[in-house]
Amino acid sequence: MQPLGGIRRWRKGGLTPVRMGSFSFIRMDIGHHECSSTYEQESAFDLYLQLEPERFRLKCGCEHVDRIFHQGIIQGEITELVGSTAVGKSQMCFSLTASVLLAKNRRSSHVVYIDTNGSFRSTRLLQILVDRGQSKEIAMELLSRVLVKRVYDEDDLRRALIALQKFDKSIDLIVIDSIGFALAQTALTYFEGGKEMQEQIIVRLHRLSRQLGCAIVTTNHLIYRNNYPFPSLGYKWKDTVHSRFVMLDGDRAYYQISDSGIVSLCDDEITEQTQKTQKIINENWDTIMCSLSQIDEANEEL
């Protein structure tokens, strides 16, 4: 048996890990996206997305990452970035925000950044815009299109989402960093009102994404059940989003975090990273296969 280069699909879990950047990206397939013979209704907006896909996809500016995002985050849908602390989730949100502000066909659009954990830094976003070729004056003007709201719990978040329904300007992107922090109490009190609050938030998020035609990007953290990665907040939240990408520390890098946000590495650096990773895989192949077998067994028990 030959090494698979670190790429493997979990049969039961629907996880396809793809080594990316300083981290691994894992596309967590959502059940209702799987093929079936059941007829699904299609709205005019769904059809429009198919006819003009590029217009409704938000890019982060890094070719390799945008490829994993299927050429961009889709407007009208909820996308989640999930991973442990300090893997770059907020930096990815900053890069997406900067790309929206700089897009020529989005000059009248706004970005709403809901900060639940104090991670938003206007100075960092300014740095990205300046490093992407904007003067400080123009960058400051672009920042005026970013609306920041600090929230502390699920009640704050619910009120913020209600207020957004009355917003009379164009919004292309809503970032919630982090949804896991804002709704943490709902997970702890799930059977004492937490479930109902989650349902209210979920309904409002889906309504906003369709009503405003905007992309909603949430960040979340991972928990592990039987050594299996799982987004926090429970099963109801797990099935809420349309796409979920897991960011994990990895040995192979296709991108890096720079002054201009998320950027691709040059070909020589990618080749060097790949060779090092392949060497490690070859030297530890038996151990890797043993670990993957244990994961498969755990998945079959779920």
| Confidence check: pLDDT of 160 > 50 | yes
**Per-residue confidence at 24, pLDDT binned at 50, 70, 90?**
very low
What is the residue-averaged pLDDT of the chain?
77
Q: When comparing pLDDT for 187 and 113, which is higher? A: 113
Which tens digit of pLDDT belongs to each residue from 81-132? 998 888 889 999 999 999 999 988 888 899 999 999 999 999 999 999 999 9
Annotation: CATH topology of 15-31+51-301: Rossmann fold (3.40.50)
| Confidence check: pLDDT of 196 > 60 | yes
Which tens digit of pLDDT belongs to each residue from 244-256? 888 877 666 667 8
Tell me the C-alpha distance between 257 and 92, whole Å: 9
Tell me the C-alpha distance between 96 and 175, whole Å: 9
Residue 183: per-residue pLDDT? 92
Mean pLDDT of 47-67: 72
CB distance 173 to 217 below 8 Å: yes
CB distance 175 to 166 below 8 Å: no
CB distance 165 to 297 below 8 Å: no
Share of the chain above pLDDT 70, in %: 68
Question: Where does residue 164 rank: exposed (0-12), middle (13-18), buried (19+ CB within 10 A)?
Answer: buried
| Confidence check: pLDDT of 273 > 60 | no
DSSP-assigned states of every residue in 223-257: EEETTEEEETT-HHHHTT-SEEEEEEE-S--SEEE
